[in-house]
Amino acid sequence: MKIGIIQSNFLPWKGYFDFIHDVDKFVFLEDVQYTHRDWRNRNKIKTPNGLKWISIPVIKKDLQAINETEINNSLNWRDKLVLSIHHSYASAPYYHSYKDDIMDTLKKEEKYLSNLNIILIRKLSELFGIETEFVNSLELNPEGSKDEKLIDICIKLGADTYQSGPAAQAYINEKRFSCENISLVYKDYSGYPKYSQLWGEFRHDVSIIDLLFNCGEKSPDYIWGWRND
């Protein structure tokens, strides 16, 4: 059984869903430190005026875990966020077919950032027909730190293969996985085909909603479906 483990991100790019599609079980790594100015609470969309960051404001505390990070609901961020998305994608071919799936979720009064992120990721995965099983690391109470924590999750889930992001090759200890008879594979994010995208030069590094609103039910063809040709 192949598993993958990543922190929950806010409306992540298409590669995140490609990663989920690749594995049998996907683990949201929520009991690790929250990193500010990262993908946890923000992402990029294309607009008539170029790339724009969209984000969810959070209450900043020292040394808080991802699952403990609260959304700053005292700010009127939801209406502004929904309006930004609308202005950027209202003319996209599939915007009106899928906008309620995204907007209704964004308007939910969630207290914690990770809860909202996970709801959005699960909703989008459902729209793309992904059948991977989702697990929250909090359910497993993993022990250790860094590689030890990942290995403990693999063991508790009965994994024989662990899929990692390519950047981890620079620091992951492959021997530790080998000692536990866990094969280690690295995700390849190269080769994604371009699709019809609004607003100028094509960009791969944008939120998944760009693909969803532009390609609708054909979105998987531009994430993993093209590899079956």
Which pLDDT tens digits describe the chain residue by residue (229 residues)?
999 999 999 999 999 999 999 999 999 999 999 998 899 999 999 999 999 999 999 999 888 999 999 999 999 999 999 999 999 999 999 999 999 999 999 988 899 999 999 999 999 999 999 999 999 999 999 988 889 999 999 999 999 999 999 999 888 999 999 999 999 999 999 999 999 999 999 999 999 999 999 999 999 999 999 997 4
Q: For residues 65 and 30, what is the distance between their CA atoms, to the nearest angstrom?
A: 7
Give SS3 for 135. Answer: strand
9 torsion bin: left (phi>0), alpha (psi -120 to 50), beta (else): beta
Position 209 in a domain: yes
Name the domain count of the chain. 1
Position 182 in a domain: yes
Backbone dihedral angles phi then psi of residue 163, each to the nearest 5 degrees: -95, 130
Name beta bridge partners: 70.
Answer: 112
Q: How far does CA 201 lie from the centroid of its chain?
A: 24
Position 129 in a domain: yes
Position 12 in a domain: yes
Tell which residue, 114, 161, 120, has the closest CA to residue 137: 114
Task: Identify the pLDDT of residue 170.
Answer: 84
Q: For residues 203 and 195, what is the distance between their CA atoms, to the nearest angstrom?
A: 10
Q: For residues 3 and 24, what is the distance between their CA atoms, to the nearest angstrom?
A: 6
Position 227 in a domain: no
Task: Identify the pLDDT of residue 37.
Answer: 86
Q: Which ranges of the chain does DSSP label H, i.e. alpha helix?
A: 14-22, 77-89, 95-106, 113-127, 147-157, 174-179, 208-215
DSSP secondary structure letters along 15-59: HHHHHHHH-SEEEE--SSB--SSSTTSEEEEEETTEEEEEE--B-
Query: Which two three-digit tokens encode residue 122?
Result: 């699960």
Q: How many CA atoms lie within 13 A of 20 on its CB side?
A: 29
Domain that holds residue 188: 2-221
Position 226 in a domain: no
* Total residue length of the chain: 229
* pTM for the model: 0.96
Position 37 in a domain: yes
Contact between 110 and 119 (Cβ < 8 Å): yes
